[in-house]
Amino acid sequence: MSVKITFPDGSVKEFARGTTVAEVAKSISGRLAKEALAADVDGRKVDMDYILEEDASVKIFTFDDDYGKRVFRHSTAHLMAQAVQNLFPGTKLGIGPAIEDGFYYDFDSEHKFTPEDLEKIEEEMKRLVKEKQEFTRREMSREEAIRYFEERGEKYKVELIRDLPEDETISLYTQGDFTDLCAGPHVPHTGYLKAFKLLSVAGAYWRGNENNPQLQRIYGTSFPKKSQLDDYLTKLEEAKKRDHRKLGTQLGLFTLVEEGPGFPVFLPKGMVLRNQLEEFWREEHIKAGYQEIKTPIILNRGLWERSGHWEHYHENMYFTKIDDQDFAIKPMNCPGGMLVYKQGQHSYRELPIRTAELGLVHRHEMSGVLHGLMRVRAFTQDDAHIFMLPEQITDEIKNVIDLVDRFYNIFGFNYHVELSTRPEKSMGSDEIWEKATSALENALKEKEMDYVINEGDGAFYGPKIDFHLEDCLGRTWQCGTIQLDFLMPEKFDLTYIGEDGEKHRPVMIHRVVFGSIERFIGILIEHYAGAFPTWLAPVQVKILPIADRHNEYAYRLKEQMSEVGLRVEVDDRNEKIGYKIRQGQLEKLPYMLIVGDKEQGENTVAVRKRGKGDIGAVPVARFIEDIKEEIKNKVSE
C-alpha cells in the first residue's frame, strides 16, 4: 500500500505507507535530510519521525524557515533546562519558549544564577550535544500527566496542565533523563544544536503576574553553525554600541525620568531632529494631496463605544471623568478623524478626501515591557485617514504604497511586506473581511510586490498591510501600515452623495508611515549609530577656532551660515584644537570647520567631514552651497 504526498510546489510523490517524514526528506535530497528539523502534515506541526499512514500535504522546515528557527531554538531551551537541572538539582521548571532571535527558560531555584554559572551551563549543554540524545514524544491523559509531574515536584507544570482545555492533547518530550511538558515538535536529537550562547539572567514573574513568585529567566540564542552564531554575537555587540537609550543621553536628544515612566522627555537637540522629521512629513503629504487636521486627546465614552475601542481595546486605555461623565484618553486617532469627516456633507466629486494628523495617543503598557523610545505609553502617530469611493480603493492603496516607499528610501531602509488577516477578536461579517482582504491583496499584486500572509494579525476592524523595515544590522521593525476599513464608516454613519443623488457609504483607509514618531527616532538613532545625515543632524556644522583671535571670524561665519538656515555652533573654549576635534567626533557632527590665520586671511574654512576626515580648505561660499545642496537632496551617507 502507498500514500500520495503533495509538496508545497504542487508536485506529488508516492511512498510506502508507514514512511516517516525524515525518509521523505531523504528521498528529496541528502542535504535536506541533514537540515530538516520538523514538518507540517496537513496543517499539523510534527517531528521528523512522524509516520505517514495516509495521503497528505507535507512541508518540511529547515533553519531557513521562521518556523524551523522556532523549533531549533525551542529545542535548545529544553537542552538548557536539562543542563540546569543536572548542575543544580532541585531546580523547578517554568516555561521555555523560542522568542525572536533566541529562547529563554524560567527556573525556580534557591541558587542565584551568575554569569559564571552561564558558562558552566554552556559546558554541560555541549556535553549533552555530543551524546546526540534523541527527542522522543509521548502522549498522556490529563490525570497521568498531573501525577507524573506531581511526583517530581514540578508544581508549575501541574498548574499549566490543569489550565489546558479539556480536549487538549497532552504530550511530553524526553531527551536522555530529562522530560518536559511540551506540544513540540523538536529537532531529531541534541546533536543538531551545535552553536549556542547563553546571554543573560533576569527576573520574571511566573506567568507575567506580579502576584506570583519571581523566577529566574535565562536568555540565550542558537544556530546550526558557529559562523552564524559568531556573526549574530558581533551584531549584538554592535547593537549595544548603538543602543538608542545610551546614544540619546550621550547626544542630548531625550531622557527618561522616574516621574514619567513610559513618557519620554525630548531635549532641545532631540526636538530639532523631531521637527525635521515632522517638516519632511508635512512637505510630502502636501505633495500627495493630504490636508492636515488636529483632533482632541480626550473624548467621551460614547465615541469609544461607537468605534468599538471600549469593547475591544479597553485594557490598553486610560480613563478620566469630566462633569461626572466617562472620558478616555485616545489610544488611536481614527475616531477623531471620523468626527472631522462628519462636519459637512460630501459629494462623490470630493472623494477621495485625505486627512492627516500627527496625533498624540496614550496606551497602557506594563512597566516590564517599556523600552526607551521603542515601547512607550505616549507617542505621536503620523496617522492619515482616506475616505473614498469603492472603485478608488486599489488606486489609493497603491498611492500609499508609493508614499511609504519614498519615505523609507530617503532613510536608506530596505523593507518587506506582510498582509495581516482577520484576528480572533474582531468586528464585522466574513463577507466584509473577505472583501477588504482581497482589495489589499489585489493592490499588492498590481504593484508586483512580494509579500507574506500574517494570519490573524489584522486590526479588530480590518485587515492590513504592514511594512517591516530592515536596519543596517539586519534587524526588522514594523512601522508603516495600511488598514482597509468598511466598518468604521458604518458605525459612524459616514455618507457621501453619489452621482445618483442618493446617500452612500464611503470606504476608508487608516495608514501610518513612520508609525510612531518616537519609535522611528529610536530606530534612526540605532540605524545611523547617532551619526545622522546632514539634513537631520541637530547640529550640522561646528566651527572650531584655533585660538582666541579667530573667534570673531568664527562667529561671523556662524551668522552667515545661520542666515541661510544651517544649524551651526562655535566651540570657542580655550582648548587645543585636537581636543575640540575629538569632542566633535564624539558628538557625531557631519562637519567641523577649523579656522585659523590662513582661513581668516583667505575667507576659507578647513573642512573635516564625518567619515572622511580632513578634506582640505574650501572657500566659505562654496562650502555653504555644497552643504545646502546636500541638505536639499536629503543625502543619506
* Residues 90 and 205 grouped into a single domain: yes
Alpha carbon of residue 184 to chain centroid: 26
The C-alpha cell that represents 157 in the structure block: 507544570
* Residues 176 and 275 grouped into a single domain: no
Q: Does the pLDDT at position 373 exceed 90? A: yes
The residue from 47, 180, 382, 383 that is catalytic is 383
Q: Does the pLDDT at position 460 exceed 80? A: no
User: Among this protein's residues, is 381 annotated catalytic?
Assistant: yes
Q: What is the pLDDT of residue 239?
A: 86
Q: How confident is the model at residue 311 (pLDDT cuts 50, 70, 90)?
A: confident
In DSSP terms, 222 is beta-bridged to 196
* Residues 147 and 82 grouped into a single domain: yes
Q: Does the pLDDT at position 485 exceed 90? A: no
Q: Is position 267 within any domain?
A: yes
Mean pLDDT within 346-360: 96
Among 502, 528, 554, the domain-final residue is 528
Q: Is position 239 within any domain?
A: no
* Residues 54 and 79 grouped into a single domain: no
Q: Is position 16 within any domain?
A: yes
The residue from 242, 510, 550, 580 that is catalytic is 510
The residue from 85, 175, 276, 381 that is catalytic is 381
From edge to edge, which strands make up the β-sheet containing 298-300? Answer: 298-300, 325-329, 318-322
How many domains is the chain partitioned into structurally? 4
- Percent of the chain residues topping a pLDDT of 90: 80
Q: Is position 318 within any domain?
A: no
280 exposure class (CB count in 10 Å sphere: 0-12, 13-18, 19+): middle
Q: What are phi and psi of 180, to 5 degrees?
A: -140, 150
Q: Is position 614 within any domain?
A: yes
How many angstroms separate the Cα of 375 from the Cα of each of 86, 128, 342, 378, 523?
Answer: 37, 38, 33, 9, 12
Q: What is the pLDDT of residue 365?
A: 87
Q: What is the pLDDT of residue 477?
A: 86
Cα separation of 593 and 613, whole Å?
A: 11
User: Among this protein's residues, is 550 annotated catalytic?
Assistant: no
What CATH number is associated with residue 126?
3.30.980.10
Mean pLDDT of the residues in the chain = 93
What CATH number is associated with residue 595?
3.40.50.800
Q: Who wins on pLDDT, 503 or 209?
A: 503
pLDDT digits (tens, 9 = 90+) for 221-234: 999 999 999 999 99
Among 528, 561, 586, the domain-final residue is 528
For residue 190, the tally of other CB atoms under 10 A from its CB is 26
Q: Does the pLDDT at position 421 exceed 90? A: no
* Residues 423 and 366 grouped into a single domain: yes
User: Among this protein's residues, is 464 annotated catalytic?
Assistant: yes
* Residues 375 and 408 grouped into a single domain: yes
* Residues 26 and 162 grouped into a single domain: no
Print the domain residue range for 95: 75-234
User: Among this protein's residues, is 479 annotated catalytic?
Assistant: no
Asked if 418 and 532 count as a contact pair (C-beta separation under 8 A), the reply is no
* Residues 552 and 455 grouped into a single domain: no
Q: In a 3-state reduction of DSSP, which class is residue 362?
A: strand
Q: Is position 479 within any domain?
A: yes
Q: What is the pLDDT of residue 457?
A: 78
112: left (phi over 0), alpha (psi -120 to 50) or beta: beta
What CATH number is associated with residue 386?
3.30.930.10
Q: Does the pLDDT at position 368 exceed 80? A: no
Q: How confident is the model at residue 436 (pLDDT cuts 50, 70, 90)?
A: confident
Asked if 542 and 554 count as a contact pair (C-beta separation under 8 A), the reply is no
Q: Does the pLDDT at position 637 exceed 80? A: no
pLDDT digits (tens, 9 = 90+) for 67-122: 999 999 999 999 999 999 999 999 999 999 999 899 999 999 999 999 999 999 99
The residue from 464, 468, 511, 558 that is catalytic is 464
For residue 350, the tally of other CB atoms under 10 A from its CB is 12
User: Among this protein's residues, is 510 annotated catalytic?
Assistant: yes
* Residues 370 and 458 grouped into a single domain: yes
Q: Is position 321 within any domain?
A: no
The residue from 78, 269, 385, 527 that is catalytic is 385
* Residues 207 and 289 grouped into a single domain: no
Q: Is position 244 within any domain?
A: no
Which range of 376-385, 412-421, 454-463 scores highest in mean pLDDT? It is 376-385
Mean pLDDT within 617-622: 95
pLDDT digits (tens, 9 = 90+) for 29-77: 999 999 999 999 999 999 999 999 999 999 999 999 999 999 999 999 9
* Residues 574 and 448 grouped into a single domain: no
Q: What is the pLDDT of residue 527?
A: 92
The residue from 73, 244, 269, 363 that is catalytic is 363
* Residues 88 and 228 grouped into a single domain: yes
